């Protein structure tokens, strides 16, 4: 159900405050100057755009972006993206997955190996890493392991630090090389 529409970031933030939606669908070009406002939203974000949007999406990984859909994809892709955003699993439509993979590879430091850690992982960190590599969101990992989402965030943060990478996408790409 659509509860509101916004023409700019100010109106978007006002609508989110008024309606407290679970998901916000952003259509159009994301601007880096919106990063701070978007990181403060409690709603999961579904971004609709093109390959250039994928580039900006990487900058908004802290903004609770759960899905990215190409603007030329069929309507069913948007519906699937919203469903996945609601359940916390994340989604990249086929129309943007190639662009996102190319971007991730370009951002990766070349010196990392298949399991990119510079300090040993604990057994729990290794377990969390395997689930992250499968594309699972923190909420899913927490459910599967019977831990809190906060604990999973802690483990993911430790793995990222030990791997000397800044994002899950970089971690997954490095582990896949």
CATH (domain of 130): 1.10.10.10
Average of per-residue pLDDT across 12-28 = 86
Last residue of a domain, one of 80, 107, 134: 107
Lowest mean pLDDT among 20-34, 55-69, 159-173: 55-69
Establish if 116 belongs to a structural domain: no
Q: What's the CA angle centered on 100, arms 131 and 102, to 5 degrees?
A: 105
pTM, full prediction: 0.56
Give the structural domain span for 140: 123-176
- Do 29 and 96 share a domain, yes or no? yes
What is the model's pLDDT at position 81?
Answer: 92
Q: CA separation (Å) from 102 to 75, 92, 173?
A: 25, 13, 10
CA–CA distance, 111 with 49 (Å, rounded to integer): 32
Share of the chain above pLDDT 90, in %: 16
Question: Domain containing 49 — which CATH number?
Answer: 3.40.50.2300
> Which of 107, 135, 166 is where one domain is finished?
107
User: Of 50, 75, 107, which marks where a domain is finished?
Assistant: 107
Mean pLDDT of the chain: 79
């Amino acid at each position: 159900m659509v509860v509101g529409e916004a023409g700019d970031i100010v109106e978007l933030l006002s609508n989110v405050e008024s309606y407290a939606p679970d998901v916000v669908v952003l259509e159009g070009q994301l601007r880096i100057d919106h990063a701070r406002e978007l990181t403060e939203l409690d709603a999961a974000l579904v971004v609709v755009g093109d390959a250039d949007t994928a580039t900006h999406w990487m900058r908004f990984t802290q903004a609770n972006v759960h899905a990215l859909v190409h603007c030329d994809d069929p309507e069913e892709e948007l519906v699937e993206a919203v469903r996945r955003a609601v359940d916390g699993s994340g989604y990249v439509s086929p129309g943007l997955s190639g662009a996102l993979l190319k971007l991730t590879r370009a951002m990766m430091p070349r010196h990392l190996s298949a399991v990119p850690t510079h300090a040993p992982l604990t057994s729990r960190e290794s377990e969390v890493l395997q689930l992250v590599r499968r594309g699972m969101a923190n909420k899913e990992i927490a459910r599967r392991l019977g831990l809190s989402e906060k604990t999973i965030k802690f483990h993911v943060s430790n793995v990222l630090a030990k791997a000397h990478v800044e994002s899950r996408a970089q971690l997954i790409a490095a582990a896949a090389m």
